[in-house]
Structure formats: C-alpha cells, structure tokens
Amino acid sequence: MTGPEPKEKAKVWATLAEEARRRIRDREWAPGTTIPNEATLAQEWGVSRVTVSRALGKLAEEGLLDRRRRAGTRVVERPQRAASFEVGLIRDEVERTGRRYGYEMIEAGEHQVPEHVRDRLGITTQPRVMRILARHLSGGEPFAWEERWINGGTVPEALDVDWRHQSPNEWLLHNVAYTWADVSLTAALSGPRSSRALGCEEGSALLMLERTTWLGKWSVTHVAYCYAPGHRMWSRS
Amino acid sequence: MTGPEPKEKAKVWATLAEEARRRIRDREWAPGTTIPNEATLAQEWGVSRVTVSRALGKLAEEGLLDRRRRAGTRVVERPQRAASFEVGLIRDEVERTGRRYGYEMIEAGEHQVPEHVRDRLGITTQPRVMRILARHLSGGEPFAWEERWINGGTVPEALDVDWRHQSPNEWLLHNVAYTWADVSLTAALSGPRSSRALGCEEGSALLMLERTTWLGKWSVTHVAYCYAPGHRMWSRS
DNA sequence: TAGTGGTCTAGACCACCAG
DNA sequence: TGGTGGTCTAGACCACTAT
C-alpha cells in the first residue's frame, strides 16, 4: 500500500456507470447508436440485470442515454445537461464558507400589507400581519437583507415574539413544522433601506430570493432575501 | 367506471412513500422518534424489504427521515427542504411557455478579450477569440440578451461561422459535444447595449446566468445571458 | 407478436455503529 | 457483538412499442 485508502465504497452500479460514461466519451458507443441490451451487459460485466439497469438508469437521468422499452437504449446525439441550483438556509450558506454567521433585527412590528405581498399570501380578509426587517452577516460583513411578512391569521403566536435575538426563519422552523413552500429567484434594485443595511449604493443590482410558505392551504409567511451585490450562486455537480 | 383512467402507474414504492409521508404529517410517526425497521414495515405492508428501502430512501433524500445503520430510521425534528432551480436551454425555456422562440444576432466578430472573460476561460496565451452579441425573443418580445465568447484556440472552426441565422448554443451543441460546464447565477445592471436589446431602461436589475464550457481541460466558450427585467425562476417540485 | 426496459420479490451478505 | 440499513443476485412478471 502506498497510502491510506480514502474511504472506498465502490458501489458496483456506480463503477459500471462510470465505465459506460467512458465508452460514450471515447465513442465506443457512438452517438445515436443502440447499445447492447441489459441482459448482454449483465453477462459481459458479470453482474445481475438489475445492477446494469441502475447504472444505465443513472446515465439516462443525466441525459446521456435514452432508454425505451422494446426500442432499447440509445446514446443521445447531443447531450444537454440542465444546471441545478440549490438554496437552503442563509445560516447554512454562510457557515459552509467557514465564516461566522450573524443576525441583526432592524425593525419589527405589525404593518399594513402592501398589494404584492397580499397576493403572495393569498389574503382576502384583514388579518393582523407582522413585518420584520433584518439583515444577515457573514464574518461581520453584510450578507443578505430580509423583509419578512408573517400571517397572524395563521400563526397568531408570531404577533408576540421578540425578534431581536431570533431570526424569523429559526422561530418558524421550531414552531411551524411540516409546511411546504414555493420559492422564486429574480433580480431587484436596492432601495434606501436595503442599501443602507447592505452597505451598498442605492440602485445596485441584487439577487433576490422569495419564499412563500404554506401550512395546508393557509399561508404562513412571505419573505424576500436580497443578497449583497456581487453574490453568486453556483450550480452543483 | 366513472371516467377515463388518467394514466395510472402506481409504483409500489411511491405509494408507500406517500403513506409514510402521511404518517409523518399526521404525527403517527412523531418528530425525533424511531420508526419501525424495514423488515417490520415490509411485513406490515406485504412487500419486500427492498421496496420499503426505496420508499424510505426517497423520504430520506427529501430530508424527512434520517437513516443510519444499527441506529434505525428517525423522523427528523425540523425538516428543511432545499429549493432547487433548474436551468436548461433558452429555447426550451421559451417554448415550454407555449410562445414562439426567436433569435437575433446583433453583432459578431473577433474581439479583444476583457480581463474577466480571460479569467473565466483560463486563457494564458493570445488565441483568436470570437465575440457574439445576440438576443432571444419570446413571442416577439425580448427575452434575454446574450454576450458570448468562443475560444478559437479550442474551436478554430467557430471563427468562420455565420452567426446571423444560428445561435451559438445550437452551433456548439452540434459541433462540440460531450463537454462539461460550470454555471452561476447573479444579478447585474443593464448597460447601454443590453438595455437597448431588451427594451428596458439603463440601470435595470437583470438576472444574469453565466456558463463556461470545457472540453477536457480546454475552455470552449463563456456566455452571459441577461434575462429581461422582472424575469423570475421558480423552484421545481 | 416478440423483445426490451421497469419493477417487484426472496434471499443473501456486508458495513456500520450503538450497546 | 448483534441489529440495522445498504447493496447485490436470480428469477419473475409486466408495460410498452417496433416490427
């Protein structure tokens, strides 16, 4: 042994998937042609058909193969992989970079609900609604600006929370579990308050993530996060 | 029958996954507790253990369960699902909305490479580099602005292509297959040319997608797409 | 109609790790 | 060290669709 083994798992199907990728890359399996069927490959590789199926299924998922019953498995002519971006919690995002996470409440209180938020929350009546403005820090530097609306009709307890030391997200996670959310991403110009909070010029371009959270058919909260100028999300894998 | 059956597939494991989700939602399996092991559930549900494993594996992937050998399977206390955004081809993105896709070249030619593009392409020598400016239309309306750089050192054929009727992406897909790319997303302000192409005011906030494509260790192209103001990406699922 | 992939089962062995 | 999940095999039946 020339060195310590770095955690070898060697799932069989993953190995076979890699071998198949190589054959495609090296044109042993040319674009547009049909490759041997599962039974043949299973015999050639000395594994069961299910294992071959998993390996090829992975490549189909990646867009390298096109599999159809009866027709067999073909190498696609022009593979085009979609890029995928994942967004979790701000706190995790910061801590993953190794920096210290910080939270600062700027303002909190009941507030009139503007039109666009009303639409997002699907509000028709006049419930009491909490608005929290805050910012998130990364290693002491401004990282993101948060404008949060919480529907008091769905979560009345939220109207009496002290938001100075606890971010809305963490409170909601602890108190309103098993929700679902729709999330969207867009670009916005910084306004007077967000630019002050982020320490940038007014009129800067900001990446803005919006999330509306639902508990059954009742809206819980709508939040807009504006990342500091220059923030970049990278595609995974 | 009261109506036509709408394509029922009913994979067993998917059905079981749904049942498990229900039990978690309804607190039959309470947060933080350990659920019955695979063998038990297999017997209860009258299926094989592998099928149970697939179903629970899916929920673990979704972040609802935490599975560990010997320790068993636990319901996580505070599930937090990451949002995921997928980006494919502009053309597909437009056509999926049912609108007609259009492409217009604005300018194409060899061009001096600015610093930030040079970095992205990992260029150290002085290869000939093609720049193409173009816009993409959706139902006749401006949809996205494209600034494309193609590394003539890697793809010399690209220096002699007529880009008026063929978008760089489609040409590259046909001529340089089996590449990989890194993709990022950020916000940018519209400049004089992009605002003219998109029909918006200068200084608008634009969602910008950048992609650098590699063939082995050689960079092929770098492209920045700026979507028209107000463009919004939605999380899938 | 026949050949292909898609899924399920029963059984087995192994890797992990709480006890 | 034993119980748990993770993976593989062999065999089976089914769904789809090219011919």
Pairing of strands B218-227, B141-151: antiparallel
Q: How confident is the model at residue B80 (pLDDT cuts 50, 70, 90)?
A: confident
Cα separation, A78 vs B47, in Å, equals 40
Q: Is the CB of B11 under 7 A from strand D?
A: no
CB contact under 8 A, A186 and B81: no
Average pLDDT over residues B143-158: 97
What's B12-75's CATH class? Answer: mainly alpha
**Among A193, A202, A178, CA closest to A224:** A193
Residues of B in contact with A25 (CB under 8 A): 178
Q: How confident is the model at residue B6 (pLDDT cuts 50, 70, 90)?
A: very low
Nearest by CB: A80 against B85, B173, B186: B173
Cα separation, B134 vs B125, in Å, equals 27
- Which residues, including other chains, have CB under 8 Å from residue B179's CB and lie 6 or more apart? B213, B214, B215, B220
pLDDT in tens, A221-230: 999 999 999 9
pLDDT in tens, B114-142: 999 999 999 988 899 999 999 999 999 99
Q: What percent of chain B has pLDDT over 90?
A: 78
What's B90-227's CATH class? Answer: alpha beta
CB contact under 8 A, B78 and A203: no
Query: Dihedral angle at the C-alpha atoms of B164, B169, B174, B176, nearest 10 degrees?
Result: 120
The torsion angles phi and psi of A193, rounded to 5 degrees, stand at: -75, -45
Count CB neighbours of B215 within 10 A.
16
Q: How confident is the model at residue B174 (pLDDT cuts 50, 70, 90)?
A: confident
Q: How far is the CA of A53 from the C1' of D11 (A)?
A: 15
Contact B16, B51 (CB under 8 A): yes
DSSP code of B235?
A: -
Nearest by CB: B184 against A88, A174, A235: A235
pLDDT in tens, A80-117: 778 889 898 899 899 989 999 999 999 999 999 999 99
Q: Which residue of A has its CA nearest to B86?
A: A84
Position B204 scores a pLDDT of: 98
Q: Is the CB of A50 under 7 A from strand D?
A: yes
Contact B101, B91 (CB under 8 A): yes
Cβ–Cβ contact A87 with B under 8 A: yes
Crossing angle for the helix pair B38-45 and B49-62, nearest 10 degrees? 110
| pLDDT of residue B180 exceeding 80 | yes
Cβ–Cβ contact A152 with B under 8 A: no
Position A176 scores a pLDDT of: 87
Q: What is the DSSP string of B148-202?
A: EEEETTT-GGGGG--TTSS-HHHHHHHHS-S-EEEEEEEEEE--HHHHHHHT--T
Cα separation, A153 vs A129, in Å, equals 8
Position A3 scores a pLDDT of: 33
Position A55 scores a pLDDT of: 96
**Among A182, A163, A164, CA closest to A172:** A163
Q: Is the CB of A78 under 7 A from strand D?
A: no
Q: How confident is the model at residue B88 (pLDDT cuts 50, 70, 90)?
A: confident
**Among B180, B78, B168, CA closest to B129:** B168
**Among A210, A88, A186, A237, CA closest to B183:** A237
Specify which residues B224 forms β-bridges with: B147, B210
Average pLDDT over residues A67-77: 93
| pLDDT of residue A4 exceeding 60 | no
CA–C1' nearest nucleotide, residue B53: D5
> Where on strand C do bases come within 7 A of a protein Cβ?
2-12, 15-18
The torsion angles phi and psi of B72, rounded to 5 degrees, stand at: 90, -165
Q: Tell me the average pLDDT of chain A.
A: 92
Position B25 scores a pLDDT of: 87
Q: Tell me the average pLDDT of chain B.
A: 91
Cα separation, A181 vs A214, in Å, equals 6
Single-letter code of the amino acid located at A22: R
Cβ–Cβ contact A76 with B under 8 A: no
Contact A192, A220 (CB under 8 A): no
Position A7 scores a pLDDT of: 40
Cα separation, B208 vs B146, in Å, equals 10
Quick check: do B12-75 and B90-227 share a fold? no
Position B216 scores a pLDDT of: 84
Residues of B in contact with A206 (CB under 8 A): 187, 205
Q: Which residue of A has its CA nearest to B75?
A: A178
Q: How far is the CA of A61 from the C1' of D8 (A)?
A: 21
Closest alpha carbon to C1' of C16, residue: B69
Q: How confident is the model at residue B5 (pLDDT cuts 50, 70, 90)?
A: very low
Q: Which residue of B has its CA nearest to A24?
A: B178
Residue ranges of the domains in chain A?
A: 12-75, 90-227
Measured in angstroms, the CA of B188 and the nearest CA of chain A are apart by 5
Position B69 scores a pLDDT of: 92
Q: How confident is the model at residue B98 (pLDDT cuts 50, 70, 90)?
A: very high
